[in-house]
Structure 1
Amino acid sequence: MTWGWVGTRGTWATPEASASMARMAEHGVTWTALAFAALQERAFSTEIPFEAEPTVTDDELVWAIREAHVLGMKVCLKPVVNVADGTWRAHIGFFDWDVPGEPTWTQWFASYRRFILHAARIAEAEGCAMLCIGCEMVRADGQEAHWRSLIAEVRAEYSGVVTYNCDKYQEDHVTWWDAVDVISSSGYYPVDGWEEQLDRVERVVEASGKPFFFMEAGCPSRLGSPELPNDWTLAGEPSGEEQLRYYRAMFGAVRARPWVRGLMLWDWPARLYPEQAAASNTDYCPYGKPAGAFMAAQYRDWHGEGTG
């Protein structure tokens, strides 16, 4: 389960955050992605000021890693870049070739490299089991040489498992999967589309020879979301049953495919809503909802702990 998104400064390393993470661990969660975002100004900006607000501080990152470890969870550290004006990070992009006087991929990757390598050093120092070097960077995916160079530099700083989280439907478009240890993607597939998409992804996994898991997957608890699980702005009434319907389809589909090594579900906030408010909550978090109990039973069964 992903915890703490978007990593806003001041929301981690608090008693409230500690209680939230503890509630998550009680649901059979054995791995957590600690996801935090740095903000660049626009989609064509080349500076990523990750040291500045609103991004969590290094002290908050270390606190979260250690808190998760105390609770018995393995940690994937997941630094992500967002765009301050609300543009989705998949649209960050520049000319395919560097042009003097224009913002370039070379400039952007220089700044992104500083961000990722900084996270890699923290991941190494704190014993994180995995590092995710990027998330849903669709336009950047084609910059193969830059990614290979970045991964080589990451490996000089970090000795754990390296993955990249491509976006949904992009698994068969990334050309540098051989450079990472584990393939991962965002599995926000429509409730009736899992089998078709898993057939497609399976061909990618077989060709790569790499392990695979879904770094993101899940569904808001609102009417209509199972058909559009990636749309967090979709208008719809709260519905725990709709979220449960999606979880049942998702878990059933992936558990029938042994090559899917797991789900890193989206997501569990650092500021957790009260359990009594769960019925009116329409976000992805399954806490206090039918999907939360279902998830916990599935995870415990998956880990051989039984479902009682």
Structure 2
Amino acid sequence: MEKWVLLVLCSLQMACVGQGIGKINGVSFVASREAIEQQQVKEVLNIHANSAAVMPFGFIREVNNPQITFNTERQWFGETKEGAKQYIEMLHKNGVSVMMKPQLWISKGVFTGKLKMDTEEHWQQLEKSYHDFIMTYARLAAENKVDILCIGTELEQFVLARPKFWNTLIGEIRQIYTGKLTYASNWDEFERVPFWERLDFIGVDAYFPLSEAKTPTVKELVKGWKPWKIKMATLSTEKKKPVLFTEYGYRSMDYTAKKPWLVDRTEEQPNMISQVNCKKAIYDEFWSEEWFAGGYVWKWFADHENAGGENDNRFTPQNKPSLQVIRENYKKYSE
């Protein structure tokens, strides 16, 4: 099987040589306290991005609490329905397509993949609450002709425990929304999502462990990508759906490719070369593949001038050397 998949990968890669294949060159546009302005969208255009993920939020108090709180006056503007609408309008005005990506935040930063109820009653309450949450933004996506709607992000326990709910939800969304649908699976979840056939993209939050080196080389990273790439290409062939990196990114720090999902503020020292090499490897490995649709870099702050910088070891590429790598590749793979 592995040999056959490698042959498929090689043939697809050969078919792409010399072609300017248009990809989704996206940024994950972080919600801010205020409305966005033209200059803030201009910074997105300056890196040749052609799409942005707009991410309103819902909040849960505990991992087994079924109630989702969303679209309230206490939230930041960009996290609300009104804020999402304003972001969409500004991005569309500038020719930037949008992926609506409503997300959940569990108190204290508990991983959303662990969201799981302890009783049938609580499961039903969670389903109702999540239905209200997603349908609110599905209607907004329909009204504003949003290109892609992401129906959930990294919700493995919820997805596996309640497949009937998810299939019903997809059907209801299709009745009001005619754009493309995806689900943002965690990097270690994508092979177990049961409803890929009903969506348009296989969505993956691509925080795969690739190397244990302090400053991995591009060659080492490409080697680390090999087994994951084969699995994604195989799934794409089986499901007849392209793969979309609903999130991808690396922190600008030592050992960034060892556990790319880490968000601990006490982690390693800033390392710009490591982030640059990770970006180079992911573009080299994926952006020329026909079965690969593109992706949304994590993450992009509206206040570009004050975001990131060479003393910052967080995910954003803003005002860091890796931004030029993104700009060059997004230009190369633009429509």
Amino acid aligned to 1:225: T
State whether structure 2 residue 27 is matched by structure 1 residue 2.
yes
Q: Deviation of residue 202 (structure 1)?
A: 1.3
Q: For 2:124, which of 96, 106, 111 is the aligned residue? A: 106
Amino acid aligned to 2:95: G
Segments ≥4 residues shifted beyond 4 Å: none
State whether structure 2 residue 303 is matched by structure 1 residue 271.
yes
Which residue pairs with 1:54 in the alignment?
Answer: 75
Which residue pairs with 1:294 in the alignment?
Answer: 325
Q: For 2:241, which of 210, 214, 227 is the aligned residue? A: 210
TM-score (norm 1): 0.89
State whether structure 2 residue 190 is matched by structure 1 residue 165.
no
- What percent of counterpart residues are identical? 21
Mapped contact 1:218–1:284 kept (Cα < 8 A): yes
Q: Deviation of residue 2 (structure 1)?
A: 3.4
Mapped contact 2:27–2:49 kept (Cα < 8 A): no
* 1:16-165 equivalences in 2 (<5 Å): 18-52=38-72, 53-54=74-75, 56-95=79-118, 99=120, 103-142=121-160, 143-165=162-184
Q: State the superposition RMSD in angstroms.
A: 1.8
Amino acid aligned to 1:67: M
Amino acid aligned to 2:117: F
Over 3 Å counting, the alpha-carbon distance change for 1:171 and 1:14 in structure 2 is closer
Q: Deviation of residue 187 (structure 1)?
A: 0.8
Mapped contact 1:89–1:136 kept (Cα < 8 A): yes
Bigger RCO (CA 8 Å, 6+ sep) = 2
SS at match of 2:233: helix
Q: Distance in 1 between matches of 2:324 and 2:241?
A: 31
Q: Distance in 2 between matches of 1:206 and 1:45?
A: 38
Q: Distance in 1 between matches of 2:29 and 2:289?
A: 29
Amino acid aligned to 2:75: P
State whether structure 2 residue 249 is matched by structure 1 residue 221.
no
* 1:247-286 equivalences in 2 (<5 Å): 247-274=279-306, 278-286=309-317
Q: Specify every segment of 5 or more residues in structure 1 that has no aligned partner in the other structure, as ranges.
A: none
Mapped contact 1:4–1:12 kept (Cα < 8 A): no
Mapped contact 1:12–1:64 kept (Cα < 8 A): no
Mapped contact 1:226–1:245 kept (Cα < 8 A): no
Amino acid aligned to 2:146: C
Deviations 1:211-235 (A, max 9, x none): 2211111101111112221112261
Q: Distance in 2 between matches of 1:136 and 1:153?
A: 21
